[in-house]
Every structure is written in structure tokens, then in C-alpha cells.
Structure 1
Amino acid sequence: MSPLRLALVCLHTSPATEPGAGDAGGMNVVVWQQAQALAALGHRVDVITRRSDPAQPEHTTPSPHLTLRFLDAGPAQPLPKGAHEDVVADFGAELARVAELGRFGRYDLIHSHHWFSGVAALPVARSLGTPHVQSFHSIAAPEATPLSAGERPESPGRLAGEAMLARESDLVVAISAAEARTVTGRLGADPDRVVIVGPGVDNNLFHPDLRRPGAGGAGPAPDPGHLLVAGRLHPLKGIDLGIEALALLPEPRPLLVVAGDPASDTAEYAQWLHELARARGVADLVQFAGAQHRADLAALMRTARAVLVTSHSETYGLVALEASASGVPVVAAAGAGGLAEAVLDGVTGLLVPTRVPGDWAAAIERVLTEPGLAGALGGAGRDRALGLDWENSARDLLEAYVSATARRPRS
């Protein structure tokens, strides 16, 4: 294959930002890792995002063939995630301007991540005669869906924008079969224009620690150790469920480490989590560790007794795959979209079919106390993760790109 020139557009958050900080999450990991893998395969990749700090340069070049570009749209400062809808038009206009001037060269394909990016970039792609690929990473719930505590209602612009992008983009790339079903069923996309490209995992960064007690199926650890929840402190992540379950575990209870910062508009939820821990009598057992650098998160993960994924909804649940790569069992929500694909129930972790804290406590207690279970789940998870990496994910993505360019040849 001849090298492609690709634009990956991510308006509301730079993919290079550490996950768990502000609005950065699994999407950042997926976009950044795929971009690096595509560049390593010889393709020229521009990752285009909004300038959120005056000190950010016009562009940086983190590695050969990979450029991170910042466009001016709205104030050069962080914005609450919902406020980015107000700068979509400005971002699109700036993207169109630099494209018309040829400042970044001619792209073979534009791939937008999240609906903000797609609404801004699709008109630019159409004006250039360039194929447009859309990934959502999260999809708005129907208007009648009850909100979780502290969750803001979706704007009408998102509901309409996602449907438009699903129908008008040349291709939609979903990260899981669960997301693909949502794209076709809720947004009305043509199933023939939806492909699934699963994520990878860095098996060198996320790996088991065979030195820790209880690793490799050697039996329960002699001390309670810690459980880990990793993600933004956002109501959709359901971290309160982890705290409720912790309070129901028999003593001696493990520590619950929460790795992540509040999202840009969820400071009240973060404060409520502290209050909940105090109210349940486990404040001394809940450690709010803040956003972690990837290496530090990997170290926390490989030494955990289990990783909890308590989200109400996940398009995939990358944290679960990273836990498996670390040889650590996962306890996750069965009804949270793609988590049922990230976690093989009874093989790499346990899926809990309810959000009842007692059910979660029972599942966690099984992992902590049932002889051989943690080692078996962690070992199977590691074996599965070894078959997944970011290069394979990037190669699958390239196949999708070839399909999109065949549908809309460059003019």
C-alpha cells in the first residue's frame, strides 16, 4: 500500500493528554495509539485539535510521520466539554481556511473523533472531495433516558449532529459490536457503511508483576492490598458503586484506589464521592490518587487485586483490556455496552448483571478469596491481551480507510 496522508480530527481534547485528566479518557488513548501505529507503518498522520493554552505551538512532531497540530477556535483555555459545541463553527472555519490554503498539504482521508469534530470536519471534507470517516466514542442517550446523578442533559445539537454524521459520512468506525448496533439502530447508519475496529493494548507497558503475592494463581495475597478504579470522576463512570461495594466487603477490606481527576463540569460529583466514602465509613480506605501518567497507572494496575469497571456505559472499556494485559482480574458491569466484549465473563473477569452494591461486593469477594480464581482470570486475560496490539488495530483501521477511499475516490 502506498503511504496515505491522514488527518485525525479531535476537537475537544488533545489525544496526547494523559487519560483521566479533565475530559481525557479512553478516546485519547485510542486516537493517540492508533496515530502512532499508523505513522510507524509509514503513513503521514496529522492529529488536529483545538488550542487550549496560549503556550501551545502551531504544531509539534512527536515521532517521524506524526504531527500534532493546534487550531485556534474560541479562547485558548480549557473549556467544559459541553461548551465545545459553541466553538464547533469556529473550528470548522479555521480547518477550512488552512485546508484551502494548503498549509497542511492534501489529505487522502479525514477521520473525525467525537461528534464535535465530525460536525466541524465533514463540510471541509466534502468541499475538498476527501472521504470522511466518523468515530463517535460515545453516543447520546435518547431524550427519554433518565440521567444519572449529576449528569448534564445532552444538547439538541448533539442528538441531531450524531444522526447526521452517521448517515452522511462515507464510513463509521465503531470500536465494538455494541457500538455498531447503536450506530445503526439509534442513529440510522447504513450497516454496510459501519465497520468495527477494536482497540489494542500496549503489552510492554501493561504487564503482570509476578513478584507480588498472589500473582500467577499462587493464592490469595496475605494482606488486603488494593482495588483499582481508573477513569474520570464523572457520573457515567459510576465510581460511587465501587465505594458502596467496598463498604459491604468483610474486614479486612482492601484499599480502593481511584485514579482520575474530575471532568471539566463534574466537580460536584467528585465532592459527593468524598462525602459518600465518609458516610459509608470507608473514607480511610478510599484513596483519590488523581490522574496518573501511563507508566504510573500501569504500576498501580499490575499490583491491584482486581480492577473495577463500574461505568453505566462504555463503547468498549479500554481499562478492562489494560487490566487483562496486566494479569489482573476485572469486575465489570454486564450491561455497559462494549464491556461484555472487553471482559469475557468467567474467563478474564466477572460481569455483574446488576448495579446492586451487594452483588458487586459478592463478585469482588469471590475474586479476593476463592482459591485460584484471581490467578486463572488474570492469566487468561494476559493470554488474550497478547493477541491484541496497536499495530494490529492500525492495520484493521487501514483496511477501513481503503474501503472509505474506494467509496469516494479523491477528486
Structure 2
Amino acid sequence: MADPIRRVAMISLHTSPLDQPGTGDAGGMNVYVTEVARRLAARGIEVDIFTRATSSALEPEVAVCDGVTVKHVHAGPFEGMTKHELPGQLCIFAREVLRAEAAHPLGHYDALHSHYWLSGQVAVLARDRWGVPLVHSMHTMAKVKNDALADGDSPEPLARVVGEEEVVGAADVLVANTDLEAKQLINAYDADPGRVEVVYPGVDTDVFRPTDRAAARAARDLPADAHVVLFAGRIQPLKAPDVLLRAVASLLARRPELRSRLVVPIVGGPSGSGLAEPTSLVRLAEELGIAGVVRFVPPVPQDELAGWYAAASVVAVPSYNESFGLVAAEAQACGAPVVAAAVGGLTTVVRDGHSGLLLDDHEPASWGRALERVITEPGLRDRLAAGALAQSEQFSWDATAESTLAVYERARSMMEETV
């Protein structure tokens, strides 16, 4: 019998688990990497997370908790680089990762887990050098994103498509967030079905849990009787906060008497292609005549985000694509119903008519009517809130970590069989 897995190297090149989710390139993937690493450490497994340094002031190594260390790798300019410019830094990043491992005895790591295609490119080289199994999580896929682009958004470049295809072909095991993502890997990227494992992401229920709604609203200066329609996430076309604003305008055009009680917090910061026009959403609210009901809130820590979910009447997730939909999962764990686009992992996270409503389009009128139903139809919001709590019980980071560890073991067995 093989020795148990003791040390795992994770690669998260383009975004650090130490970054604040909700702005820049930091989002659900950051949470995923951190939470899985923490729970692996709780099982006695040491986890080193390699990420690109974005400031000269960063310490070379930062302990997240006992057993989890973030290692900052110097590769390219510290600031001002976009994801599309990072492929030019893959060689130096890979060199520094290999150099860091070389300081240890041979066989220091027992498994390698890369996140996002850029990390996968480095991990393929490291896997071959270290002789350990490579597990890769895509998190998002260029072909899927390009099939569902928001208006005005830029398609993912061919270099990313080719890079993803290379990683899919090289990884020992691919981790998909949902059954749908597994099918997309197989159908769009010709992944071997025998090397694809589905592992649901989770929710930290110590942080995201039901709390008193009145207290949550008072703490955020929200009226006790308000209809609070919340958006949380990065402000970029993919996440479609503009769809929510147009839906609110449609709703108020039809039901102007709701204006005095409606509050629409937008919690998050510009990201991706949204960085090109960071004030565009503010201007859109003004153009639609709803600036008075919209409140823009900078990205907040996880415990504060949980308070926003608790304060919400409903959480809107109008994304054009989501590999999982962590915002929806966290909101439901706080007892907030969700109105979401029926795309990607959201069809797994949200149970239509039970924990929220799923919409097949991004039309403002459709979204306006769905939001109106939740906030005005007698009994509907409370019924969906109860369903949201029940639905959230199937998503646990402990279960995610346990399943991920089983994937590492399987990948190692598969690699040994081919030697």
C-alpha cells in the first residue's frame, strides 16, 4: 500500500488566495483554493500554494494557517499586468517554482494541483520534473465563455484555447465543478471521460449561515421594510450587473410605487474587461433613472459579505457563464433566495422554484418580472428562503476536500499503473 499523501503543491499563478475576492482577478477561485487547502491541512496534509508576486513588499512566504503556505514567485513586473499578458511570464514562473522545490529532497511533494489554464501550463512541466500526479481544475473555459459572450465583451484569445487543450491532454485527472462542466470538458475539449472527476465546491457554513435580517439591515443602514435586491461579485460584462440594473428599471417602469422601498446594493469592484470603463455601471444607473435606488459598495471580507446576504430580500446572479456559482451557494446558505441565469453551474446550485428562480434569458423585462415575484408575491420569498437553506446543505468544503484528496489518490494510482 502506498504511503498517504503528506504534501501537496498547488499552483494559482494569476491570482493569489490572499487577494480580496470581488475585484481584479480575485473571485470564487481564490476562495476555492484557500478553503480546500485549509481543509486538507486540517487532515494533516501540508499545502504550498505558488502564486505570482504582484508587489515587492510581499513576503516570500506567507502562512495562511498551520499547514498552508503561500509562496510568492517573482515573474515579470509586479503591477499592471493583465491575464492576457501573463503567458509571456510562464517560463520564468516555472523556473522559479522548480527552483523552490529543488531545495527539498527528491519526492518532497506527493501531488500537484493546478488552478486555471495558466497554472496548468506550469504544472505540466513541474509534474514531469517531480514525477508526481497532476490534478487540474479549469474553473472557467475559453470555449464555453466564447459561446456565451455578453454584449460588448471580448472573446478569449486563441492562445488560451490552445493552452487549455494542452493542459486537458496532459493532466492525469481533471476536476470538474459540476456534471455539466464534466460534459463540457469531454465534448468541447475531447477530455478522456475516465480522467474527469466531478467534485462540488463548498460553502463555509461557519461564515455563511442564517442570521437576523433586521440586525443585518440595521448594520448596513438599510430600512427594515426595504426590498433589497443584491448583486455581489466582480463588475465585468461576464457577471452581467448591467442586466440587473436594466431589470430594475423595467420593474420600476411597471411598478413605480415600489421605488420608495427598493434598494439595490452592488457589492464588488471592476474586473477583467470591466477595468476599461470602471464607472460605466454608475453611468448606466444614472441613464436609467435609478441612481437613487442603487448603492455601490466596494468588495468586502467574507464575514461582511455574509451580512449583506442576510440583509437581502433576494440575490441576483445574472452571469452569462459560471463554472459553479459560489455567490449563489453562499447566499442560499444565509437563507437568501436567488434569481439566477440558467447557465453553467448555476443550474446545479440553484433549484428552480425551490431555492430560487432560474431564467433562460437575460432580457430586462423577464428579470424584472422575476424579481417582482420574489419581493411582492405573498409567501414566495419565505418559501424560497426555506428552500435555499435546504439546498445549501449539499455544499460543504469538508466534503470538497475529502473528495479532492480521493482524486489525488486516484491520480497517483493511475500514474503508477502507467510506469
Q: Is the 8 A contact 2:231 2:267 kept in 1?
A: yes
Within the candidate set 70, 73, 76, 1:74 is matched to: 76
In angstroms, what is the RMSD of aligned CA positions? 2.2
**1:330 paired residue number:** 338
**2:220 paired residue number:** none
Within the candidate set 351, 356, 359, 2:358 is matched to: 351
Q: Which amino acid is the alignment partner of residue 252 of structure 1? A: L
Provide the C-alpha distance between the structure 2 equivalents of 1:37 and 1:146, rounded to a whole number of angstroms: 34
Report the secondary structure of 1:141's partner residue.
helix
Provide the C-alpha distance between the structure 1 equivalents of 2:333 and 2:299, rounded to a whole number of angstroms: 20
**2:241 paired residue number:** 239
Within the candidate set 287, 290, 298, 1:282 is matched to: 290
Mapping of residues 32-43 of structure 1, within 5 Å: 32-43=34-45
In structure 2, relative to structure 1, the CA distance for the partners of 1:146 and 1:200 (3 Å cut) is closer
Within the candidate set 41, 47, 50, 2:49 is matched to: 47
Report the secondary structure of 1:409's partner residue.
helix
**2:24 paired residue number:** 22
**2:60 paired residue number:** 58
The alpha carbon displacement at 1:61 in A equals 1.5
In structure 2, relative to structure 1, the CA distance for the partners of 1:365 and 1:104 (3 Å cut) is farther
Within the candidate set 292, 300, 305, 1:292 is matched to: 300
In structure 2, relative to structure 1, the CA distance for the partners of 1:78 and 1:105 (3 Å cut) is farther
Mapping of residues 292-331 of structure 1, within 5 Å: 292-331=300-339
Q: Which amino acid is the alignment partner of residue 29 of structure 1? A: V
Q: Is the 8 A contact 1:3 1:44 kept in 2?
A: no
**1:192 paired residue number:** 194
Report the secondary structure of 1:404's partner residue.
helix
Report the secondary structure of 1:350's partner residue.
strand
Is 1:405 paired with 2:407?
A: no
The alpha carbon displacement at 1:225 in A equals 3.3
Paired-residue identity, %: 36
**2:391 paired residue number:** 384
Q: Is the 8 A contact 2:117 2:167 kept in 1?
A: yes
The alpha carbon displacement at 1:278 in A equals 1.1
Q: Is the 8 A contact 2:216 2:307 kept in 1?
A: no
Count of matched residue positions in the alignment of Structure 1 and Structure 2: 405
The alpha carbon displacement at 1:382 in A equals 1.1
Structure 1 length-normalised TM: 0.93
Provide the C-alpha distance between the structure 2 equivalents of 1:145 and 1:315, rounded to a whole number of angstroms: 14
Moved more, 88-97 or 290-299: 88-97
Q: Is the 8 A contact 2:37 2:68 kept in 1?
A: yes
Q: Which amino acid is the alignment partner of residue 50 of structure 1? A: R
**1:138 paired residue number:** 140
Q: Displaced runs of 4+ in structure 1, greater than 6 A?
A: none
More helix by share: 2
Structure 2 length-normalised TM: 0.92
In structure 2, relative to structure 1, the CA distance for the partners of 1:376 and 1:103 (3 Å cut) is farther
Provide the C-alpha distance between the structure 2 equivalents of 1:321 and 1:159, rounded to a whole number of angstroms: 28
Provide the C-alpha distance between the structure 1 equivalents of 2:229 and 2:376, rounded to a whole number of angstroms: 14
Gaps of 5+ in 2: 218-222
Within the candidate set 125, 128, 142, 1:126 is matched to: 128
Q: Is the 8 A contact 1:310 1:333 kept in 2?
A: yes
Provide the C-alpha distance between the structure 2 equivalents of 1:144 and 1:317, rounded to a whole number of angstroms: 18
Provide the C-alpha distance between the structure 2 equivalents of 1:56 and 1:301, rounded to a whole number of angstroms: 32
In structure 2, relative to structure 1, the CA distance for the partners of 1:246 and 1:346 (3 Å cut) is same
